[in-house]
Structure formats: C-alpha cells, structure tokens
Amino acid sequence: MIANNIFKAIADFCQNVLFAPFDSVRSLDNWWLQNTVSWVLILIGFIGFFYWLGELNKHTKAGEE
C-alpha cells in the first residue's frame, strides 16, 4: 500500500511540476518557439560530440609521439 502511494506521488510530481514548462510551451501557437527545446538539445549534443572528437584526436596524437 505504501509503495503504491510512493509511485503515485512520483508520478504526480513529474506530471505537475517537472512537465509544467513543457505544458506552457505546448500551448503556444508559434512552431519556432515550440521547437527551441529540441534545437537546444541537438546543439548541446553536437558541441559534446565535436569536443569528444577533439579530445580523441589529442589522445591519438599524444600516443604516436
């Protein structure tokens, strides 16, 4: 019984608190504003990917010397 209440509390917290900003963005009429979150996440992914490739390249060059 207690475990059931804990999972309901976690679900309530996620739906009403964590996803509240996304609900406000979803109600916008502008497609460009709605997709800014996706663009930011894609940009962060590309930055991380290229940083990782640069570090890998440094490591490879240091190993050859």
Non-local CB neighbours of 25 within 8 Å, separated by 6+ positions:
33, 34, 37
Q: Residue 34 to residues 7, 23, 50, 53, 64: CA-CA distances in angstroms?
A: 30, 10, 26, 31, 47
| Mean pLDDT score, 45-60 | 95
Is the pLDDT score of 1 beyond 80? no
| Mean pLDDT score, 35-54 | 95
What is the distance between the alpha carbons of residues 58 and 35, in angstroms, rounded to a whole number? 35
Is the pLDDT score of 49 beyond 90? yes
Per-residue model confidence (pLDDT) at position 39: 94
**Residue ranges per structural domain of the chain:** 1-28, 35-65
Helical spans, DSSP H, in the chain: 2-13, 20-26, 31-34, 36-64
For the chain, what is the mean pLDDT? 88
